[in-house]
Amino acid sequence: MALLLAGGYMASAGDKTEGEAARDKIPVVTAAVHTPGPLRLDYFSEAPGVLKAMSGLEEQVRNSGLEKSILVLVKIRASQLNQCLYCLDMHEREAVKIATDQAKLDAVARWRESELFSPRERAALAWTDALTLISKTTITDELFNEVSTRFKGGELANLSLAIIAINGWNRLNIGFRDEPQRCPIDF
């Protein structure tokens, strides 16, 4: 009998290692997409320090000097990878507000095959993919060197913080089923 293990791997009952058997006790996520439903936890009021900390990250990102157009592409890409409909919806609206070309927005999911992105945007998207999927990828010297030719020193640190921040927001909003209209950040 085949079993779906946490992480989406299939194994027959006889093939399971001790670690895999332990993982069987963890509920398998059947849909990674943000599932609509009632708010699970109002962390704004239950843990205001969390909101304050995340808002601090967001403020640093905003004041980093990185282009808004780059930041919104990073937020959209990470939200696509994490399947956070809350953040994806919010940042697509943000992109329209700052006059991002619709064809470019439509191409974010397939940015590697698209000619619409500048070398700097492509580097930001590659770094977003690598940091967002860090448990599944290796950040090679080649990737780091390419990205660091487009983002110097502090810019690369701030780009990384932007990616960390959106991944944090994605996880809070998916985990607690938050809704975009409650977003405390004004874009």
Alpha helices for 63-153 (secondary structure H):
68-82, 85-97, 102-107, 119-132, 141-150
Can you give the residue ranges of every domain in the chain? 1-30, 43-182
- Which H or E run includes 2? strand 2-4
Interval 71-110: pLDDT, tens? 999 999 999 999 998 889 889 999 999 999 999 999 999 9
pLDDT band at 155 (very low <50, low <70, confident <90, very high): very high
Question: Is residue 12 classed as helix, strand or coil in its secondary structure?
Answer: strand
Question: What dotted CATH number matches 43-182?
Answer: 1.20.1290.10
Report the run of H or E that residue 4 belongs to, with start and end: strand 2-4
The CA angle 183-88-79, to the nearest 5 degrees, is 105
Q: Alpha-carbon torsion 26, 179, 95, 115, what sign?
A: positive
Judge if pTM exceeds 0.85.
Answer: no
